[in-house]
Chain A
Amino acid sequence: MSISLDTGVRFSLEIDGVATTAPAGATILDVCRAVGVDTPTLCYLETLTPVNVCRVCVVELEGARTLVPACSRVVEDGMKIRTDSERVRASRRMVLEFLASSVDVSLADDMQRQMKRYGAKPERFGAEARTVRQPVKVDNELYVRDYSKCILCYKCVEACGSDAQNTFAIATAGRGFDAHISTEFNVGLPDSACVYCGNCIGVCPTGALMFVSEHEMREAGTWDEARQTKTDTICGYCGVGCTLTVHAQDNEIVKVSSPADHDVTHGHLCIKGRFGWKFVGVKKRRSDG
């Protein structure tokens, strides 16, 4: 969510002993980023309302009984914040270990980096630790849902819901460890409200939600990001002017996304922009050419 930071008021605060200032309305995370403090986040995304559920961004705020989430705690004058105390490190490490011990995070690149940074050892909860392992859901031609990889960051629910698409095809169902992302009565996507905008996939940080095209290439072992180019261009359909990032591998489009920081899309697209590129590579064009 963009917060209007322009009230003119600036607060003085201290981060890891260094004095700094921040505009009223900024979050601790905003300040951390502004001063270059690497703060891990999983459920946070600039374009979505902070749900502060993953708790990996917690910091120590002087005078507070518990740690506070940097992503959603708004700064106040005189705050003294520690982002690298043993208490903070322990919490972050545990959160990463909790997740990695329950969820397949093999495709969550940023999380892997943070796990290394905090020395997370998810295996210490034992081989019998409960996980969310389950079969992959393939029920339509465009999406694959592999909830074994879901860390329940709520981003897809927010993108499908009131933060962007307002389609509400998915929500969190169940409770506690059984909480999961689901359609109504767990019906397949074709029976649900899904309009295949792909915005849930666009915000998924762990690869739990994936385009069929990518999933199939990964299964076949041909997906190779090192060989891919990413080119920003404008969608060829309606006149809204959405920026598309075209991911191409060996001169073939393999995926389309949109930059989260783009003013027109905020990273969101519709089914046409997201999937309507197949014609570019169809044989008919080749042979006639």
Chain B
Amino acid sequence: MDLHHLTDEPTAEERAAVDALLGPYLENGVSGREARSQRHLLLPALHAVADRVGWVSRGALGYICRRLTVPPADAFGVVSFYDLLSTEPLPPLTVRICDDVACMAAGCDALIGDVEKRFGPEGASNSGAAWLRSPCLGLCEQAPAALLTSAGVKPRVAALAPAALASIEAALANSAEAALGNSAGIDVDEPCSLPQAGEPQLRLLRRIGRGDPLDLDAYRGAGGYGALSRAFDLGPDGVIREILASKLIGRGGAAFPTGRKWEAVAREPEHPHYVVCNADESEPGTFKDRVLMEEDPFAVIEAMTIAAFAVGSEQGYIYIRGEYGRARERIVAAIAAARAAGLLGADVMKRGLRFDIEVRRGAGAYICGEETALFNSIEGFRGEPRNKPPFPVRKGLFGKPTVVNNVETLVNVLDIVTNGGATYAAIGTPDAAGTKLFCVSGHVAQPGLYEVTFGTTLRALLDRAGGVRGGAALQAVLVGGAAGAFVLPDELDAPLTFAGMREVKAALGSGVVIVFDQSVDLAAIVRRIARFFRHESCGQCVPCRIGTVRQEESLDRLALAHGAGVDDEMRLLHEIGQVMRDASICGLGQTASSAVESALAKLPVFGAGRSA
């Protein structure tokens, strides 16, 4: 291409970071379509630079563009899309403090106030470090949460949860020392909260908490890779038959039958086929996939391998949200171990299957959890969703037939293949087979990840979590996250199934259960949700780009309105909600008003239930 490049030169460090990823620069390298086909390396290259120096300068972006034959304006569009990448100078150390729903319930505002007093305003560099606000970090069971990123030769992304001013100060000091080579680096304890660990009825979580998750021998000793072995015996059609029979439904929020997806891709004549694991878990309040990846990484890899075998794919991608440092490290290590053991690669288990997995890392964009936005992100474009149809099973990653499954969905596959689809289908209720993970946070005695059989009531789940913390009165439960709905104390007997939640005008979504006691200002929570969507809208389609702004503005006005003004705003909010739901391109816009409308309809703070 006849690209016009920036004249700014990269620093030696930036160049080294890019070269470490792409290899040394050759003057007369590739040309034509070969040169243009490297765009999918754009996001990894941007990460490489940000990891090394903390941000993406003109020189660095220009160098990446020359290396990858990407137009600089396009690359700028990409880098400016992601929260975790900055085109403005940022110090090598940053602390992102979550101010999202679950952390609000845990008092993050006070923490942020302290941090502001100690370190100055948001974004300002203070002795080589800066703090920033962040949407949900997926550490809700340990709220309030913060995320430390340190750039350098040994970059690190580490969670600080629960975070306090003292722990943030200590981590920054420690990291600064590490950058100077004076210490081994930050070592933050990241406990996982599995109150059920070790309980015999667990299926998805049964391996968790039983030793080193990266010990492949232990995984195999506990039956790991038995499912893949069985899959080889069943053959691709047999595997798909079992998945269909299991009635497994996707756990990412869209609730689509997994078997039908696999079957469709397997039948597509166009090749290659891809298997993509959607690990861009970003729905506020959700952390289940993080725990699965951190604590049971081989299960994810084995399940992807089964999917690949079933649909005829040789290449898989796992797209892990950028904030999940430990999950990524473990998945990367587990892939390496699996490859070394012949469980990935040219001849998996010597059964003639060629399959490998590449890890891709998100960069701070909720929208990339939308499957087609995720494809665009992998391909090196802005994470803007594509119009559907065509669906991913026909035109997915790189325009090819693609199976895309959520982490939790995939882990279910292991038991289905091992024990048969019929056995699996018998668990749970007729319309919702199997077990489901719930991310319980907020004002409960024991926040954490819970696995329950479909059909369990919300009340039973809350009881299992020890009920409202301190025995306080329940105000409401937010089910499904920012894209979800509020459930009131008198609706707790609703069963946790797709139909059961519909009864109370809610949806299971990704399994978020955030509990609010009476101390919480729910109007503020609702405004935070509106802000979340305004911030996370990709900006592509009008209903969502502008609707999320108008929704937030209207809620702000509503907080001050009285009399007829209230009714006007409510009417306007309904209209805004309707056009976003009806006319947005993707699920983000279509659900950006769900919690707001639920709040208007149900919550007393918005006048609901006053008298009809």
A and B touch in the complex (CB under 8 A): yes
A71 nearest in chain B by CB position: B387
Please judge, given known A-B contacts A52-B387, A166-B1, A171-B71, whether A95 and B535 are in contact too, CB under 8 Å: no
Contacts of A67 in B (CB 8 A): 582-583
Complex CA distance for A176 and B365, rounded to whole angstroms:
11
Q: Does chain B have a CB within 8 A of A179?
A: yes
Interface contacts beyond A91-B578, A176-B535: sample of 20 additional A-B pairs, CB < 8 Å, sorted by A = A52-B387, A55-B543, A95-B542, A98-B550, A99-B546, A102-B546, A125-B550, A125-B572, A130-B549, A151-B542, A161-B74, A168-B71, A172-B77, A174-B539, A175-B536, A176-B536, A184-B58, A184-B75, A185-B76, A185-B87
Contacts of A183 in B (CB 8 A): 73, 76
Complex CA distance for A53 and B534, rounded to whole angstroms:
17
Complex CA distance for A178 and B543, rounded to whole angstroms:
14
Contacts of B542 in A (CB 8 A): 53-56, 95, 98-99, 151-152
* 11 CB-based A-B contacts, threshold 8 Å: A52-B387, A56-B542, A74-B389, A90-B579, A125-B550, A168-B3, A171-B77, A172-B77, A174-B81, A176-B549, A183-B73
Q: Among A128, A129, A170, A176, point to the contact of B545 (Cβ < 8 A).
A: A176
Q: Among B365, B538, B553, point to the contact of A125 (Cβ < 8 A).
A: B553
B557 nearest in chain A by CB position: A126
List B272-330 residues whose CB lies under 8 Å from chain A: none
Contacts of B3 in A (CB 8 A): 168, 193
CB distance from B388 to the nearest CB of A (A): 10
Please tell me the number of chain B residues within 8 Å of chain A, measured between CB atoms: 50
Complex CA distance for A124 and B568, rounded to whole angstroms:
10
Please tell me the number of chain A residues within 8 Å of chain B, measured between CB atoms: 53
A124 nearest in chain B by CB position: B572
List B44-71 residues whose CB lies under 8 Å from chain A: 58, 61, 71
Contacts of B71 in A (CB 8 A): 168-169, 171, 193
Contact A168 B74 (CB under 8 A): yes
Q: Does chain B have a CB within 8 A of A106?
A: no
Identify which of B1, B545, B554, B585 gathers the most chain A CB atoms within 10 Å of its CB: B545
Contacts of B61 in A (CB 8 A): 184-185
Contacts of A124 in B (CB 8 A): 572
B76 nearest in chain A by CB position: A184
Q: Among A50, A54, A73, A173, point to the contact of B541 (Cβ < 8 A).
A: A54
Would you give the 0/1 interface string for B525-539, flagging 1 where the beta carbon is closer than 8 Å to chain A? 000000000111111
Contact B582 A175 (CB under 8 A): no
Complex CA distance for A183 and B572, rounded to whole angstroms:
36
A-B residue pairs, 8 tightest by C-beta: A179-B539, A168-B71, A193-B4, A171-B77, A184-B72, A98-B546, A94-B579, A176-B537
Contacts of A74 in B (CB 8 A): 389
Contacts of A152 in B (CB 8 A): 539, 542, 545
List A177-234 residues whose CB lies under 8 Å from chain B: 177-179, 182-185, 187, 192-193
Q: Does chain A have a CB within 8 A of B594?
A: no
Would you give the 0/1 interface string for A121-145, flagging 1 where the beta carbon is closer than 8 Å to chain B? 0001110111000000000000000
Complex CA distance for A174 and B545, rounded to whole angstroms:
12
Q: Does chain B have a CB within 8 A of A28?
A: no
Please judge, given known A-B contacts A54-B541, A175-B80, A179-B538, whether A91 and B579 are in contact too, CB under 8 Å: yes
